[in-house]
């Protein structure tokens, strides 16, 4: 695991130390990792929500035909082949 050093004002350092003591964390690194994971989950949720809204606002839904599914499969196969080459 890599190390990352950060500088904090005293008031934030005390806050982090307090959260470690009273929040059930073994050390400061555990606390910071949990903060980062939480932020990653929040971003992923926000991105998914944005994609869902984009889909909803793109117009009325249409039924997928067999031709649509075949075209989609071919695009995915082509994309997979390109990724294998890299």
SS3 86: coil
pLDDT value at 85 more than 90: no
pLDDT tops 90 at residue 1: no
**What band does 49 get if pLDDT is binned at 50, 70 and 90?**
very high
d(CA 11, CA 5): 17
> Tell me, what's the pLDDT at 84?
86
**Distance, C-alpha 75 to centroid of its chain:** 25
Nearest to 29 by CA among 19, 40, 42, 39: 19
Crossing angle of helices 28-57/10-22, nearest 10°?
90
What confidence score (pLDDT) does residue 55 get? 92
């Amino acid at each position: 695991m890599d190390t990352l050093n950060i500088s904090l004002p005293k008031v934030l350092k005390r806050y982090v130390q307090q959260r470690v003591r009273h929040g059930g964390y073994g050390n400061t690194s555990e606390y910071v990792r949990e903060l980062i994971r939480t932020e990653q989950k929040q971003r992923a949720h926000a991105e998914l929500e944005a994609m869902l809204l984009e889909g909803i606002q793109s117009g009325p839904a249409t039924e997928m035909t067999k031709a649509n599914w075949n075209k989609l499969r071919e695009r995915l196969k082509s994309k997979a082949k390109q990724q294998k080459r890299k």
